[in-house]
């Protein structure tokens, strides 16, 4: 699936829920399915700066696509990074760089986060795109 198809799938999934309590629970459940980062990558270098919680992200290039793994010490944050990794993992760096993140507004996520979590969300997206820039440079 390409990034837009995954984003559309997420929008559809979130539209099934009546209220934000159900959506938060869904995000927590998504966090439990997150491909966990190996302990050796849970280092200071892999912590996303700008997040209130600790969020570790590791990326590696596999067959010209970036595979992301992550973890967080907070359950909602873990759900947020799980959504982002679902969208961007196993995609070509160029596709990640070209992708918009309008789906976040469409599911209403940003408006239902505290200001510090919303800043953390922006930092997570920025970091995933920085990995894409680095790997795109390697591929060229």
SS3 at position 33? coil
Containing domain of residue 36, as a range? 3-139
pLDDT-based confidence at residue 114 (cuts at 50, 70, 90): confident
Exposure string over 83-99, b if 16+ CB within 10 A, otherwise e: bbbbbbbebbbebbeeb
Note whether 131 and 91 are within 8 A (CB).
no
- The model's pLDDT over 63-100, given as tens digits with 9 standing for 90+, comes to 999 999 999 999 999 999 999 999 999 999 999 999 99
pTM over 0.85: yes
Is-catalytic flag, 44? no
In this prediction, residue 27 carries a pLDDT of 95
Count of structural domains, the chain: 1
Active-site residue, selected from the candidate residues 51, 82, 87, 124:
51
Cβ neighbours around 65 below 10 Å, total: 15
Give the CATH number of the domain where residue 128 resides.
3.90.1010.10
- The model's pLDDT over 32-63, given as tens digits with 9 standing for 90+, comes to 998 889 999 999 999 999 888 999 999 999 99
How confident is the prediction for the chain on average, in pLDDT? 94
pLDDT-based confidence at residue 29 (cuts at 50, 70, 90): very high
The answer on pLDDT for 117 being more than 90 is: no
């Amino acid at each position: 699936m390409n990034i837009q198809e995954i984003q559309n799938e997420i929008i559809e999934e979130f539209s099934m829920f009546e209220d934000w309590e159900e959506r938060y629970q869904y995000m927590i459940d998504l966090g439990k399915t997150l491909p966990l980062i190996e302990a050796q990558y849970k280092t200071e270098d892999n912590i996303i700066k700008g997040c209130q919680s600790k969020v570790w992200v590791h990326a590696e290039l596999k067959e010209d696509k970036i595979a992301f793994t992550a973890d967080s010490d907070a359950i909602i944050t873990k759900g947020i990074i799980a959504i982002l990794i679902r969208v961007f993992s196993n995609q070509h760096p160029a596709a990640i760089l070209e992708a918009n993140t309008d789906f976040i507004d469409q599911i209403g996520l940003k408006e239902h986060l505290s200001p510090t979590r919303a800043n953390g969300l922006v930092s997570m997206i920025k970091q995933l795109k920085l990995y894409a820039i680095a790997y795109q440079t390697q591929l060229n």
